[in-house]
Amino acid sequence: MRIFLLAGAFVVALSFVPRPANAAMCGSSVDVAAVATRTVYNWNATMGKGKLKIDKTYIASIAILRTYAEVNLDFPQGPIFQYWIKKSGNWTLAGGHAPKGWPASIAPKLDTMSALTSAGGKQCMNPSWKNRSSSG
């Protein structure tokens, strides 16, 4: 009985421990950090090359379901989405739209989780995001 009381007290105590900033985004902190880092690197190395360099404050939200991820990047011109897939333990950019061949339920779930204004949105928000458009 004493063990159950101690375990219960431990669980309650853990609920009051502050969580890292990534906790607001949806997915394991390791996967969220990897997707965020790769998103910024990919943008700066390819899409933003010679133009706008971004940092993690441009990421409005990250939603991860199993081995699938959606990143919502916020720009003054509006949002840009990137879809990622985890292959062989590494996150790989899959494109600007959910690729064909993904399970049919994945993209809509990711969209709902990462949406900034729709019902159910804001649950995967990046706490360090700086709103740069009218999407938020």
Residues 28-62 pLDDT 10s: 999 999 999 999 999 998 877 778 899 999 998 99
Strands 68-75 and 78-87: antiparallel
Can you give the pTM of this predicted structure? 0.74
- Report DSSP state, residue 46: I
Which pLDDT tens digit goes with each residue over 124-135? Answer: 888 888 888 765
- Angle at 62 (CA atoms; ends 56, 64), nearest 5 degrees: 140
